[in-house]
Amino acid sequence: MDAIKRTSAVEQLLGLQSDLAASGITYLTGCGATPGLLTAAAALAAQSYAEIHQVKITFGVGIANWEAYRATIREDIGHLPGYTVEMARAMTDTDIETLLDRTNGILTLENMEHADDIMLELAGICDRDRVKVGGVVDTRNPKKPLSTNVQITGRTFEGKISTHTFALGDETSMAANVCGPAFGYLKAGIDLHRRGIYGLFTSAEVMPKFVR
């Protein structure tokens, strides 16, 4: 996925924008952890700057056994250099176990094709080529190999170059960081729909509403 950029799901959804609005549908997309919580954090942090130079999202995921997250691991393998989603889909469990044995269970992902870049561009934050997404997945250890974070580097109106960093606590699980924002954005989407606001929205445009 490093070498070949495919049309993302978000770009496909953009083609439905007018149809969604005309049909009275409020559709929120990219509303998990990344894209989602970290995308929103980047959009908020960007307000300190007159120009954004780079947004770098780095995630750390630890799981005790890859078989509990088969679909996720296959998707991650599809982002590795030399692999594609089609290749990962065709791999047998034995193939995957052989790959993980070779990497000691570690998957290092760089310059992933992700929706954060498109969302931040749509929101007017920065061009998509200034957004980098990557991370490390440990498929044999529930402890995160590194803290998930987003760094936003930009120039202030005084001409100063600075970097904001927003880091997720290591104690929060992947499920908590995905499901929490998803429910928050669902609540926000319901509120927009009740107000008669229809169409396609992303996590960089709408703030989630806290769910108790």
Contact 77, 83 (CB under 8 A): yes
Nearest 5°: CA angle at 103, between 97 and 108? 110
Query: In whole angstroms, how far apart are CA 63 and each of 18, 173, 179, 187?
Result: 41, 10, 17, 29
Joined tokens for residue 208: 């989630």
Residue length, the chain? 212
**Residue 67 among the catalytic residues:** no
Q: Verify whether residue 5 is a known catalytic residue.
A: yes
Catalytic residue from among 11, 53, 67, 79: 79
Amino acid at 47: Q
Nearest-angstrom CA–CA distance, 160 and 22: 45
Q: Is residue 170 classed as helix, strand or coil in its secondary structure? A: coil
> Is 86 one of the annotated active-site residues of the chain?
no
Helix (H, G, I), strand (E, B) or coil at 115: coil
What would the two tokens of residue 7 be?
């049309």
| Given 5, 11, 51, 143, the catalytic residue | 5
Q: Which of the following is catalytic: 56, 75, 121, 205?
A: 75
Provide the annotated active-site residues: 5, 75, 79
